[in-house]
Amino acid sequence: MNAKEEVVITRSFDAPIDQVWRAWTDVEALKQWWGPKGFDMFAATLDLKPDGMFHYGMRSPDGKEMWGKFVYREVTPMTKLVFVNSFSDEKGGTTPNPWMATWPLEILNNLTLEEKDGKTTVTIKGGPINASAEQMAMFEQGKAGMEQGFEGTWSKLDEYLAKA
């Protein structure tokens, strides 16, 4: 994957790095904020280690259920998570995007955290792996939508951190 194929999303949070790290690495915290605005997480498990998985089920505002997962490749406390994000079934198997059949099955994400003056900046760089040309083209078309979609997720994280 090269930089042209990645989407890069950065956001600063008014919280210390340990609090933001916990939000990304504690299953009870993730249940409170991960996912699109309006979705509720009804199931989640987390095994935070290389080859471990965060597996979760969510319900949309109109009652549809979907599953997703992160399979961790690298866990560097307080600074970095590298994981493959996919849609999933209830048992943790990788499945196609339920809304876009040509969306890449796997997105490799490199998440970093940096603290300065009590604020933490989170940067996610992500792009398809093991993708066909058609899936790569779909990802390229979807970059702006992903950035917009993350705004709702970041808002949920902001709300969670303000209460934590």
In the chain, the domains with their CATH numbers are 3-163 (3.30.530.20)
Segment (H or E) for 75: strand 65-76
Q: State which residues of the chain have pLDDT below 50.
A: none
pLDDT of residue 147: 83
HSE-CB at 22 with a 13 A cutoff on CA atoms is 10
pLDDT of residue 150: 87
At 60-69, the pLDDT tens digits run 999 999 999 9
